[in-house]
Amino acid sequence: MGHGWQGVALKLMRGQDFTFTVRSNERISERLHRLSFSDGGMLRATGTHPTMWVRLWFDNGGRPHQRAYTLVDPDPAAGAFDMEFVLHAGCAGDWARTARPGDTIDATVQGSEFALPDPPPSQLLVVGDPASRPAINSLLASAPSVPATIWFETSHPADADGIPHEEAAGRRVVRVPRQDGGARLVETVRAALPAHLDPAAYVWIA
């Protein structure tokens, strides 16, 4: 399957294409699968950084469809990494449910760049949802001594499980039930943010 005009545009922006191979597929919960991949040489070619993400290409009824996913536990020496898939309806969730070892999927790396400020920020102010949990975890792991407040939108009681905050002093997750298409999250953050802001804080929004 070709990648259509989006693939052409990414090529013009110097996107790099790779093919990943599924190593394993583990059902973590009713709503979450974790897949392990061989990287097709990607990590050796690109290196890694916190919150690193790639675009995966799915077949959507014969048409290409791309979605971005964060790498989990990338291991350049082994040429491997994991990804977490929240099982929404659609071609990406359908693929993640049924993928088996040996299956392959095309990927493009373009636009994934990130580095924390130096010196480190006084605190992290993070806004996200279940699909951004791997990126949030990667961000927190890159600054283990920095206090953080995470406003996390949920539509299920277990959605915020697995964010590594309780081990570190000064880290707090504020669970915000999804309402009105995300409006409640916006209102909650808008009301709370002024009390947290200082010139050395770092705001990260998924």
* Span 150-173, pLDDT tens digits: 999 988 766 666 666 555 668 888
Residues 16 and 79 in one domain: yes
Query: Is 117 inside any structural domain?
Result: no
Q: What is the mean pLDDT of residues 100-112?
A: 92
> Could you count the other beta carbons within 10 Å of the beta carbon of residue 53?
19
Residue 131 confidence (pLDDT) above 90:
no
Q: Are residues 68 and 141 in the same domain?
A: no
For strands 171-177 and 148-154, give the pairing.
parallel
99 and 38 within one domain: yes
Range of the structural domain that residue 32 is part of:
4-109
Q: What is the mean pLDDT of the chain?
A: 88
Question: How are strands ordered across the β-sheet holding 148-154?
Answer: 171-177, 148-154, 123-128, 201-205
Rounded distance between C-alpha atoms, residue 49 and residue 170, angstroms:
24
CA–chain centroid gap for 143, Å, is 17
Phi-psi region of 55 (alpha: psi -120 to 50; beta: other; left: phi over 0): beta
Residue 64 structure tokens: 């290409």
Q: Which is nearest to 86 in space by CA: 128, 149, 142?
A: 128
Whether residues 42 and 64 fall in one domain = yes
Please give the pLDDT value at position 74. 96
Which has more confidence, 206 or 54? 54
User: What's the pLDDT band for 130 if we cut at 50, 70, 90?
Assistant: confident
Is 0.75 topped by the overall pTM? yes
Say how many domains are in the chain.
2
